[in-house]
């Protein structure tokens, strides 16, 4: 706000500062909620065995949905909604799993519309895994060509990522492309864990070692 007169300068400055601080405070609150969801998600997927994660992921999916409703044009909450829904889909079965997978896809596709980098490639990795693992045909939306395209986009953004290379290696193994699968499994084993996702990346590194040993 421009100060027009000395008489109103103090009031004008106060309003100006308030207006400037509010968006920053809102952004910090938004980031803190995403950070909290991320940390909770990492604990669930790295500390709880498969088959016992559904309740935690269901609760997280509700939190992510509410955050996206409040910030519909912010890419990062959408990416995390997609990641959480995709994780929940793996814990569910039947139509419930497909519903979560479709919710994940919708959130991630919206996220990359807003941010073509897909939160440093994370959206593309998760989309690749979804298109790889979800049934195709009339039931689901699985498609190997789309899965590979998503993985390639993620690799272009973050070629040394543990998650990128692990999920791509798993996809290549399923496709029977074993030499390529070995190469990407090796890259996953040798990749750099992200400081913000150390626990989940290190868990994937262990899975990559097992995958590499099986090839």
Chain centre distance of CA 180: 25
Domain spans of the chain? 27-143, 159-215
- pTM for this structure? 0.85
* Closest among 165, 151, 93 to 123, alpha carbons compared: 151
What confidence tens digit (pLDDT) does each residue in 69-118 have?
999 999 999 999 999 999 999 999 888 999 999 999 999 999 999 999 99
Residue-wise pLDDT for 110-161, tens only, equals 999 999 999 999 999 999 999 999 988 878 899 999 999 999 999 999 999 9
The topology (CATH level 3) of 27-143 is 1.25.40
8 φ, ψ to 5°?
-105, 10
Q: Is the pLDDT of residue 3 over 90?
A: no
Residue 213 to residue 215: CA distance in whole angstroms: 6
Reported as half-sphere exposure (CB side, CA atoms, 13 A), residue 177 has a value of: 13
């Amino acid at each position: 706000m421009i100060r027009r007169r000395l008489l109103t300068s103090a009031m004008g400055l106060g309003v100006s500062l308030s207006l400037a601080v509010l968006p920053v405070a809102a952004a910090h609150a938004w980031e803190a909620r995403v950070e909290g969801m991320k940390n909770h998600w990492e604990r669930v997927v790295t500390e709880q065995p498969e088959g016992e994660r559904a309740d935690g992921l269901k609760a997280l999916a509700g939190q992510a949905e509410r955050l996206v409703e409040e910030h519909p044009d912010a890419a990062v909450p959408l990416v995390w909604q997609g990641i959480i829904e995709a994780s929940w889909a793996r814990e569910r079965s039947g139509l419930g799993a497909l519903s979560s997978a479709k919710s994940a896809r919708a959130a991630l596709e919206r996220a990359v519309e807003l941010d073509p980098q897909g939160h440093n490639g994370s959206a593309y990795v998760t989309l690749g895994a979804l298109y790889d693992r979800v049934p195709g045909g009339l039931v689901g939306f699985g498609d190997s060509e789309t899965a590979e395209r998503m993985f390639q986009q993620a690799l272009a953004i973050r070629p040394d990522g543990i998650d990128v290379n692990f999920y791509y290696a798993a996809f290549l193994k399923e496709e029977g492309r074993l030499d390529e699968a070995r190469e990407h499994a090796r890259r996953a084993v040798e990749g750099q864990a992200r400081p913000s996702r150390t626990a989940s990346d290190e868990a994937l590194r262990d899975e990559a070692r097992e995958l590499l040993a099986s090839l």
